[in-house]
Amino acid sequence: MLTRRNLSIAGLATLAGCSRLDLLNGANALVPGDAAVKRVVSGAAFGSEARQRLDVHAPADARGAPVLVFFYGGSWASGRRQDYGFAARALAARGFVVVVPDYRIVPQARWPAFIEDGAAAIAWTRANIAASGGDPARIGVIGHSAGAHIAMMLALDRRWGAADAIRAGVGLAGPYDFLPFAPGSAAETALGNASDRGETQPIRFARADAPPLLLLTGDDDETVRPGNSDRLAAALTAAGAAATVRHYPRQGHIGILLALSKPFRGKAPVLADAVGFLRQQLA
């Protein structure tokens, strides 16, 4: 167990293992369906560090389209933007301009580097996304696992300067309320240097004027327990904000992400639920 409460990331086989994701992206490309999309920006810099780079995927002839910034997971310690083309293309095929940033990771960086990089990627998006057919006034965030943690921190905690740009957010299997950290866990390694560990928790920043949030979780997730989503939604609702939780039976931590890809889309309506919510909120 990563924590003594509701998170267990220790021993996570992150989906950023390139061979597995290469296979998934290849299979995704072979399965028919989805409208034509293209990667219109590749490796744009939003900072001076090697991992401060992003890609942009867009529908054909996008003009004034809503924008999503997608943050991948990997225990704050792994992942590459190139490996999540299947997720970006799924969202872009449904009318969004999709930004996929890398961010600094453990062991080269610790808290709050990855949050700062997420904020910088959103600042880049506001300044530059119109050139790719996106509307900088209609930005949403979506993330999986550690990426959902980053997305919710940016949406809720005003200190990072991104909250006012975010109109809506979707979290997939995210850790939002997971203190205390277990010694030696991924969370301890990535976040344990914070002077106030409570400030690493999205739930601390629940507020009445938060953007609308949809929290998706699998009932069989033993890596990030569904209670994280339930407790954050309850805190937001109690504060007066709009937050919804959706549970998927028989879905685990990785399955909820795989459901964005064409080969696994029939396992759970993750893509349809996320897209329906984001279309409504970014209309």
pLDDT at res. 22: 79
Residue 23: predicted pLDDT: 84
CB atoms within 10 A of CB 4: 11
| Domain interval for residue 269 | 18-281
pLDDT tens digit sequence for 187-213: 999 999 999 999 999 999 999 999 999
Domain CATH number, residue 62: 3.40.50.1820
Where are the extended beta strands (E) located within the chain? Answer: 37-45, 53-59, 65-71, 97-101, 134-144, 166-172, 213-218, 243-248
CA-based end-to-end distance of the chain: 40
Q: How many domains does the chain have?
A: 1
CA-closest candidate to residue 30, choices 262, 269, 267: 262
Q: What pLDDT does residue 144 have?
A: 98
Pick from 170, 181, 194: which is nearest to 270 by CA? 170
- Is residue 229 domain-resident? yes
- Domain assignment of residue 1, yes or no: no
Q: Is residue 43 part of a domain?
A: yes
Q: Evaluate whether residue 4 is within a structural domain.
A: no
Does 6 fall in a domain? no
Give me the tens of pLDDT residue by residue for the chain, a chain 283 residues long.
333 343 333 333 333 334 478 789 888 998 998 989 999 999 999 999 999 999 999 999 999 999 999 999 999 999 999 999 999 999 999 999 999 999 999 999 999 999 999 999 999 999 999 999 999 999 999 999 999 999 999 999 999 999 999 999 999 999 999 999 999 999 999 999 999 999 999 999 999 999 999 999 999 999 999 999 999 999 999 999 999 999 999 999 999 999 999 999 999 999 999 999 999 999 9
Q: In this structure, is residue 173 part of a structural domain? A: yes
The answer as to whether 204 is a domain residue is: yes
Residue range 212-268, pLDDT digits in tens: 999 999 999 999 999 999 999 999 999 999 999 999 999 999 999 999 999 999 999
Tell me whether residue 44 is in a domain: yes
Predicted structure pTM score: 0.93
The answer to whether the beta carbons of residues 188 and 179 sit under 8 Å apart is no
